[in-house]
Structure 1
Amino acid sequence: MKNRILHIIFLGLLATSCSDDFMEPVSRSTFDNQYIYSNVDDARNGVNAVYSYFNQDAFRSRLSNNMAGNTDIEHSSGWTSEGDRYQIWDLDALPSNRDLDIVWTYAYRAIRDANISIESIQASGSLESPDPNEQADFYQLLGEAYTLRAYWYSMLIFYFGDIPYVTSAPVAGDDFNLPKTDRNEILSGVIQDLIDIEPYMKWADELPYGIEQVNREYTLGMIARLSLQRGGYFLTPDLSMDREGDYLDYYQIAKDYTQKLIELKDRPLPTDFRQVFMNQAKFISPVNSDILFEVPFSLNSGDVAWNIGMTVMGGPTAAHDYGSGNNYMAIPPTYYFSFDTLDIRRDVTCGLYQINQQFEKEFVNSPSNISQGKWSRHFLDNPPGASSAKGTGINWPMLRYSDVLLMYAEAENELNGPTASAQEALARVRQRAFEDTFWPEKVDQYISSISGSKESFFEAIVDERAWEFGGEMIRKYELIRWGIYAEKTQETVEELKDLADAAFAGTTNLPIYMYWRTDESGDFEILNPNRKVVAPPDDTWSQVPFLLSLHSDETQYQEWILYDWENYYNGPNPGVARYIFPIPTIAIENSQGTLKNDGYGF
């Protein structure tokens, strides 16, 4: 059942928090009276202010999904428009880009409110309370504030590189025009914050809001995720990819803290992969399961199944009351065909049908519009209204336990090679992907075949993370830290061209056309999801061009193949993806000369 208490607090705090200018100072007397709490309820309200920024467009439609492409498993056509989101998709955004301004502004407001909560809790004396319950509650709140602050810093670093590092609450008279701090110094700092606080935090099953609240599991997982970011590659101002010489120290931290979570709070992965995401549409948030933390949207907020997920055609003339939803980020056919045909995750992740206004399932209008099938508004039990669009109330997953297992496997492999424990962690994820009758071949033999070297095991991790997390929009950050962003996008384009050529020449065994129908019970069915069929068995099947539609008589390949990823591998420095964006103009102007956009070809 969806938790409503936090959502109401988020929306109320949003109205008071968002009118402030970036890093606006608050007087010391106001700070004393308003923010230093002597009881759990006041402290709870303060930390809730940090959560409120998840309900801003900066997160709910930007960072959570909209801005997290293009990759080898997602794409959108940024070159078709000069609009703000298109500039970002095309890796060519201007400093005046409004979406970048929104993310920068609200990220620093979230950091500001987290700093206020951290200082207030530390100054309250409640961390030394003789009441063990009160003390535990305050440590939990402190951990939430530190973890939320770390998330926003991680995102700012991925998008802007070196940035101002603010760790104190605003006080009148302070200098708010801070210079940039090296990205790695910031990451090292927030990782240490979480290492220090996580032992004092509570597990999700000890909290009133479970996985809809930052918990110890999520913080442990974030230590690992941030450590892999810190130990990974990053773009330098001269447009090359580099990593620090101490990167193995951070792989060790990632290994230690994923292992700690596995040892302290292990859980079996739910056997039904589809149900993990269907739970979100049913407003079910089980603890001790796969999702460790998900952003809790109220029943009239959140953009999941509006701008990400399966297409639903609604509106006032529709024969259904589910409203309208679309997907800004589509899934390329190369990703669809990368799956083993027996992998259960493929048909959950890749949506090949859409819902029309008659509330009927029909094949997607193009292989360039395969959707993220993990979410759809038509999965909701209660239709939100024919004219509805935003505000589905579906939560957004921030971290899953399968991610922890794969981070452990990756870190262990980097440090010690494909050891038995690394293989076991990978096996646990793959076992859910296949019926158990196929485990000897698809799990045991497969893992044996890729465990001959550190390099081959790493490539298997790269693939497994793609198959496991498709549509969850974290691939961009993985490709960055692995240093293979440009490589993987160019590889995708070449594979799409190969598919188009083979389909046009008729030399492929993959579906040049697909044939589909809805049977008498309304079930959507595809005759040949995996193979070429010359003709359907009868006239109940509709034929649609699939791989053949990748070909163009005029340009040989469809324009989206030629241009969607071009700037990712053929940008200012060919072979390197310039994923860093300029600091927004308003932030530069407000810094009074402290900040500037230098390097990165800006």
Structure 2
Amino acid sequence: MKQVINLIIIIIAVIFTGCKKDFLDPVSLSTFDKTLVFSNIDDARKATNNVYRQFGEDGYRTRLSITMQGNSDISVGGDRTSSKDNYQILALDAVAGNGDLKKAWQSAYAAIKDCNVVIDGILASDLYNSTTDEAASADMHQFIGEAYAIRAFWYSNLVYQWGDVPFTTAAPKAGMDFNLPKTDRNLILSSMIKDLIKAEPTMKWADELPHSVQQVNREFVIGLIARLSLQRAGYYLKPDMTKARGDSVTEYYTIARDYCEKLMTLKDRTLPRDFAQVFKNECQNIYPSNSDMLFEIPFALTTGEVGYNIGMRLESGDNNPYGRGGHDFSLTPNYFYSFDAKDLRRDVTCGMYDLDKNLVPSVVRITDIPQGKWSKEYCDPSLGTASFKGTGINWVVMRYADVLLMFAEAENELNGPDEAAQNALKRVRERAFDSGDWATKVDDYVNSVSASKESFFNAIVNERAWEFGGELLRKYDLIRWGLYSQKMTQAVDEIKALADESLTDNPSAKHASYIYYRVDNKKITIFKDGLYNNGAVPPGYIPSTGADLDGNTLPLVNGWVRADWTSSLWDSGTNDYNAIIDKRFGPYIESSPVRYIQPIPAIAIDNSGGVLANDGYGFQN
């Protein structure tokens, strides 16, 4: 599918215009004769490729997919004292003139326009419902399904970020009124769900497509119907800053449950045991069908910032063949300690080391835990010493584990924690633990949380955090659950409790004030047994009297190094909590509910002929 993105250049340069154009400034499909373009399968396929184009633009690959989805109770970034565009967004203080919001908004509506052009063109094509060429008709149904799904995906993001937004499903035509007012977000979601339900049955499975999970496929669309239905059934923020929930909640939970069950019946698959490899596959250009991954954004080698601003930190240098890597968001200390000590997902999700320019590792700070699921270090072949942005590492959109947990959530909402809901939760947890621990960590655990509908829902809230950490689904989950404010406040309280605990000499303290590690032949070993046992030290670690315990600079006994861990959450200089708590979390706990809605970009308002305005949510036009 990486070729799909690159084919767009060919589409525009050869098929339509006959002249060379810049990939980043393509000519719109709407300016061409759609009757001709959609009269044959080859051109229709290439035209449909255009609906993927905006994923490679900055408005999505950096802004909407990462910056605008990052802050939650399990991952945070930003600095409220900075006026940079991305930090304005993270501080919930963006203005209409914010350049990053403009990029995201324009990318969304450019993608929607491309989808509308393809949909209109295919619906008008004789091949779409041909009875004489069934193969061509099947291809056209697949193409239109891709366009429906990508359009729905963009509208889902717009609704989460901006609430009610302008809504159009028609391709641009001469004389059309482009100054559209806002449409109720519930009407938009309902419309998108109906489109997907209509398109899904005639789409192709990933194992029937040339690009597998890098191409919109039937299993992803089934999962997307469920995801949008849960969004439609969930909570949202009104302009008067009160939380609301749409009508027909039971109807949409039922749709979510039924479509998850449909995929589990028609195309079930076993979750691969190696949780880490699911994400390393993206770094290694491996795209298996009938596995956990259902759809991932296909970034070309010169696009995408996975591994650069989301992933493990690597310092660039001549001795580093992978290039520079880092993360804009850090996983939170309370999230790290929310994992069961035996949960195999913790050390995959929470990166524990940085690499310097010579690939020598050192342990991370507890306030700066990276997303360990992706790293340039995993890339094979390596990206080169000069690599920074444009990694080409794909971005996960949906996994089968998501379908299992959405089913468990919807089934619990409709019928309580019955056997079907419990079994779906168990399937996800079985991968998270060694089989020898299943009796206690899976069976006993699920039995205990199934005491009531409420306790099972809370278990789903926790499980989705542990399963999808770093994948930036959490913010949208918290919004639709109506828990954004509550969980952000809870996170701060838990982080402060960790800091308070580190200041005492309580022998029963559970969390490590310090972390011990050693490096041998550029391989790091962390004394993880001490993470949940404050005061524990590695075997044989007995520093002599007066030994220098500044583990950040000097190796200690037997090669072990001590570094600050929870102790760094307290700033001894100011005799207060680490300032990063306020810089990152402050805007999210100072008012309730969290004002996560963004202002409509000024350029959209200026070009709307007075139709659009930033009314409500405390915005100032």
TM-score by length of 1: 0.95
Compare 473-482 and 10-19 and name the one that shifted more. 10-19
**What residue in structure 2 maps to residue 360 of structure 1?**
360
- 1:217–1:359 distance in 2 versus 1, CA, 3 Å: same
- 1:345–1:194 distance in 2 versus 1, CA, 3 Å: same
| Aligned pairs for 1:11-410 within 5 A | 19=25, 30-32=32-34, 36-129=37-130, 130-315=132-317, 318-364=318-364, 366-410=365-409
SS in 1 for 2:296: strand
**What residue in structure 1 maps to residue 586 of structure 2?**
566
SS in 1 for 2:398: strand
**How much does 1:567 deviate?**
1.6
What amino acid sits opposite 1:516 in the alignment?
Y
CA distance in 2, matches of 1:172, 1:565: 48
Residue deviations 1:411-441, cap 9 Å, x none?
Answer: 0000110010000000000000000110000
Is 2:568 aligned against 1:549?
A: yes
**How much does 1:301 deviate?**
2.3
CA distance in 1, matches of 2:219, 2:335: 30
Contact 1:519 1:525 in 2 (8 A): no
SS in 2 for 1:524: strand
Residue deviations 1:328-351, cap 9 Å, x none?
Answer: 010111000000000000000000
CA distance in 2, matches of 1:154, 1:143: 16
CA distance in 2, matches of 1:54, 1:552: 41
What amino acid sits opposite 1:217 in the alignment?
E
Residue deviations 1:349-378, cap 9 Å, x none?
Answer: 0001011111111111x2111000000001
- 1:348–1:25 distance in 2 versus 1, CA, 3 Å: closer
- 1:313–1:185 distance in 2 versus 1, CA, 3 Å: same
**How much does 1:565 deviate?**
1.6
CA distance in 1, matches of 2:446, 2:2: 44
CA distance in 2, matches of 1:521, 1:113: 49
**What residue in structure 2 maps to residue 411 of structure 1?**
410
Contact 1:70 1:89 in 2 (8 A): yes
- 1:13–1:78 distance in 2 versus 1, CA, 3 Å: farther
- 1:11–1:439 distance in 2 versus 1, CA, 3 Å: farther
What amino acid sits opposite 1:209 in the alignment?
H
Contact 1:227 1:251 in 2 (8 A): yes
- 1:206–1:301 distance in 2 versus 1, CA, 3 Å: same
Contact 1:362 1:524 in 2 (8 A): no
Contact 2:71 2:90 in 1 (8 A): yes
Residue deviations 1:275-332, cap 9 Å, x none?
Answer: 11111111100000000011112233211100000000014xx312211011001011
CA distance in 1, matches of 2:398, 2:152: 14
SS in 2 for 1:120: helix
| Aligned pairs for 1:574-589 within 5 A | 574-589=591-606
Residue deviations 1:211-230, cap 9 Å, x none?
Answer: 01000000000000000000
Residue deviations 1:57-109, cap 9 Å, x none?
Answer: 11111222222121011011331311010011111111001111001001000
Contact 1:204 1:288 in 2 (8 A): yes
What amino acid sits opposite 1:226 in the alignment?
L
- 1:276–1:225 distance in 2 versus 1, CA, 3 Å: same
What amino acid sits opposite 1:222 in the alignment?
L
Is 2:468 aligned against 1:466?
A: no
Question: How many residues are treated as equivalent by the alignment?
Answer: 589
Residue deviations 1:472-524, cap 9 Å, x none?
Answer: 00100000000000100000001111110110123322110000012347343
Identical columns (%)? 48
Residue deviations 1:3-41, cap 9 Å, x none?
Answer: 5421311455686686489xx9956xx44466x511111
**How much does 1:535 deviate?**
4.5
Is 2:519 aligned against 1:500?
A: no
Compare 401-410 and 245-254 and name the one that shifted more. 245-254
SS in 2 for 1:293: strand
CA distance in 1, matches of 2:609, 2:585: 36
Q: Which runs of 5+ in 1 are unaligned?
A: none
CA distance in 1, matches of 2:456, 2:260: 18
| Aligned pairs for 1:429-444 within 5 A | 429-444=428-443
TM-score by length of 2: 0.92
CA distance in 2, matches of 1:25, 1:262: 37
CA distance in 2, matches of 1:97, 1:31: 36
What amino acid sits opposite 1:135 in the alignment?
S
RMSD value over aligned CA atoms? 1.7
- 1:37–1:17 distance in 2 versus 1, CA, 3 Å: farther
Compare 239-248 and 190-199 and name the one that shifted more. 239-248
CA distance in 2, matches of 1:313, 1:296: 26
**How much does 1:563 deviate?**
3.4
What amino acid sits opposite 1:271 in the alignment?
R
SS in 1 for 2:515: strand
Q: Which runs of 5+ in 2 are unaligned?
A: 13-20, 542-556
- 1:412–1:476 distance in 2 versus 1, CA, 3 Å: same
